Structure 1
């Protein structure tokens, strides 16, 4: 086998790579084209884009707003710090970091009441309160109530920091009545970085039994009749049963003691006569019992008008002529709204060992021509006594705060 030289045309062996006659190389030269530079650039750009996408995805996943959902407490991670966020109805539990996932209270039939639902924040590492730095990171805080089946929706006050609970980040008063049943109390916090925190606790109200006495049906026109009725109540009505008394427009002379029940005592007015007590009225509720007194006149010439050994809520009552008009002592508390205190040596006096547990309001009271309008000898707790709308006029001393208890008179009037 032979082939012709590609240059001189002489026959040469087929496998020859050059011509023995003219020494010409028998392989055709091919033009070697350099790689196009745009393909290399495109590859580099594509690689950069892929790397950017990976880095972006990692960054987004790391900084993506997080949802924290729990029961009454969660641990919230913010950058390099962790916070324990919890709900409770107890100030003591909140400070010590104990959440309250549910609470059951009893309330007398026909009664309304409220409980402060409190949100606390602690440094997860140290256990110390951290609400101040935490709330700077909060964009909004909301509360909602969700009733269970056959329950009624509880009302609530928008959450805010409350000076009566200085260690809590936020407080929302939950308002309810004896028929409210069970509600979930739901909290939602939205953080400045987009994170959300959802918490919830449960509040259940159990209705207490109650009995009601009307003066139209039950003899209570005189002091002796009223005392006989109170004696029969102590003997026949269990202490966990609420007693409602609707008193006639008469004057009761002498000292009267109301025993160990939850009391609803309602005065009445007929022409110019109002239900009136001229002796000391002692309220001796025990075991958490309390009294709600409305529309009663306490008229004296010495001594103590109302001697409270439990929580007593006064509304639309009047006191005049007493050494001490209303006295909260031992484990007691007296709360007054829309009441009038006139010509008493001391109108409202506290010498108690019990804190109120909520934000006590002393709204729209009138303190006129008393020696001392409000005397606070001893009163634990941090609840702020708010005298918004109250008037102080002609008193020798408006507020004698020996205990240095928190008092707010910014919206009171002094004349």
Structure 2
């Protein structure tokens, strides 16, 4: 195909790059672009690489595996979950927000005792019970004991930790512990395994010492009248530490008058050669003071005047083998006390046994082998601490106006009781 020069119009040889007539280039040239400096190219590349790395790092951060944490405290631990902070602690039921890091007990070396360690979960901001919302986060709760290597006896976990609605409904869980006076200073460790892998330990130190027991016998101390007994009790309260155990053995005679406790005592009645027992005509009251033990009454015949009360128990008490006759109320439980009666006889009282107390503690379920006969009301349950079941095995009810008035609908077991 014939080609012409675009500049002069002359004929061009085939495949010519220049016109042989006007010597001009017959191919158009592209306008050169502005060159990009090498340093700028490098910076742009690095910026792009940085963006890629940042995106990758962010993805890995938000999709990283959770690293479980461990929390360890004596008495309490604070734990955060989401926007909520929880207080996990061991405490007494009368103040669920105050950590009970150290517990002090005394006991006889050859006797076994049981004590409940209570574990709570609170809203750290309000101090209110938060176990209901915290429980779904928990995988497992266990209790173990770090024994005192120098102690003669070990502290024993009597049962797995559990929520005990009938005994201590305000606590998240309770673990009962068995010990003797020789168990030393073990440590109780509550361990909470969370579903996210976190591990929480709350520790409680127990300090157990052998009990010091003091005995007072009527042959050795003036105890022939109610006034002499009261004077001796007042002297003991002033001189003997409340953590010591005090046993008083009364004469096999008759006492007339009232008696007031301001600390714990065990009162033992006596029997003479003719079979006559200790008789107490009056009332015995437990008032404010330092009570470290259950107040026991053994083998005493209490006799009322129709208007008074045999035993007014504001602290823990346990009559065993006693009789209560002619009282307005044979045994009255008040305040926050828990009282058991076993092998006792209640006769001719307006009310034999009256429970009217509140609280978060129970000593024992046993109300065995009692006799309620000829009373206006044998047993009146107006208010009873906890929901622990009271068991009346072997107890006999006969000729009462009302055998058992359970006004507060407290759990009771009369399966093996006798109603005549």
Alignment of 1:372-391 (within 5 A): 372-377=377-382, 382-384=385-387, 386-390=389-393, 391=395
Aligned residue pairs, count: 349
Q: Is the 8 A contact 2:286 2:315 kept in 1?
A: no
User: Shift of the alpha carbon at 1:211?
Assistant: 2.0
Q: 1 CA distance for matches of 2:111 and 2:260?
A: 19
| Residue aligned with 2:362, SS | coil
Structure 1 residues 251 and 386: CA distance shift in structure 2, 3 A:
farther
| Pair 1:173-2:170 in alignment | no
Q: Is the 8 A contact 1:274 1:297 kept in 2?
A: no
In the other structure, the counterpart of 1:335 is 339
User: Shift of the alpha carbon at 1:291?
Assistant: 5.1
Structure 1 residues 341 and 233: CA distance shift in structure 2, 3 A:
closer
In the other structure, the counterpart of 2:116 is 116
Q: 2:249 aligns with which of 242, 246, 249?
A: 246
Q: Is the 8 A contact 2:323 2:344 kept in 1?
A: yes
Q: Is the 8 A contact 1:84 1:123 kept in 2?
A: yes
Any idea what the Cα deviations from partners look like across 1:344-367, whole Å, max 9, x if unmatched?
321112455xx4442243413335
Structure 1 residues 315 and 175: CA distance shift in structure 2, 3 A:
farther
| Residue aligned with 1:224, SS | coil
Q: 1:313 aligns with which of 311, 317, 342?
A: 317
Q: 1:368 aligns with which of 369, 372, 376?
A: 372
User: Shift of the alpha carbon at 1:120?
Assistant: 1.3
| Residue aligned with 2:65, SS | helix
Any idea what the Cα deviations from partners look like across 1:78-136, whole Å, max 9, x if unmatched?
5x464524223322432xx3333224467799987654322111345665422124334
Alignment of 1:32-181 (within 5 A): 61-62=65-66, 66-77=69-80, 80=82, 82=84, 84-94=86-96, 97-104=97-104, 114-124=114-124, 128-148=128-148, 150-151=150-151, 152-158=153-159, 159-163=161-165, 164-181=167-184
User: Shift of the alpha carbon at 1:253?
Assistant: 3.9
Q: Is the 8 A contact 1:86 1:99 kept in 2?
A: no
Q: 1:396 aligns with which of 389, 398, 401?
A: 401
| Pair 1:199-2:178 in alignment | no
In the other structure, the counterpart of 1:16 is none
Q: 2 CA distance for matches of 1:65 and 1:270?
A: 71
Q: Is the 8 A contact 1:89 1:116 kept in 2?
A: no
Q: Is the 8 A contact 1:219 1:225 kept in 2?
A: no
User: Shift of the alpha carbon at 1:287?
Assistant: 1.8
Greater C-alpha Rg: 2
Q: 2 CA distance for matches of 1:308 and 1:340?
A: 16
Residue ranges of structure 2 left out of the alignment (5+ in a row): 1-55
In the other structure, the counterpart of 1:234 is 234
Q: 2 CA distance for matches of 1:128 and 1:229?
A: 47
Q: 2 CA distance for matches of 1:253 and 1:100?
A: 43
Any idea what the Cα deviations from partners look like across 1:133-191, whole Å, max 9, x if unmatched?
43345444322333446445434442221223222110123444555443322112334
TM-score by length of 2: 0.66
Structure 1 residues 337 and 135: CA distance shift in structure 2, 3 A:
farther
| Pair 1:263-2:253 in alignment | no
| Residue aligned with 2:224, SS | helix
In the other structure, the counterpart of 1:8 is none
Residue ranges of structure 1 left out of the alignment (5+ in a row): 1-51
Q: Is the 8 A contact 1:279 1:305 kept in 2?
A: no
Q: Is the 8 A contact 2:91 2:98 kept in 1?
A: no
Q: 2 CA distance for matches of 1:121 and 1:195?
A: 16
Q: 1 CA distance for matches of 2:179 and 2:276?
A: 31
Any idea what the Cα deviations from partners look like across 1:287-328, whole Å, max 9, x if unmatched?
222553243143436444633354242153333423221123
Q: 1 CA distance for matches of 2:340 and 2:178?
A: 19
| Residue aligned with 2:98, SS | coil
Larger deviation, residues 265-274 vs 144-153: 265-274
In the other structure, the counterpart of 1:14 is none
In the other structure, the counterpart of 1:48 is none
User: Shift of the alpha carbon at 1:202?
Assistant: 1.7
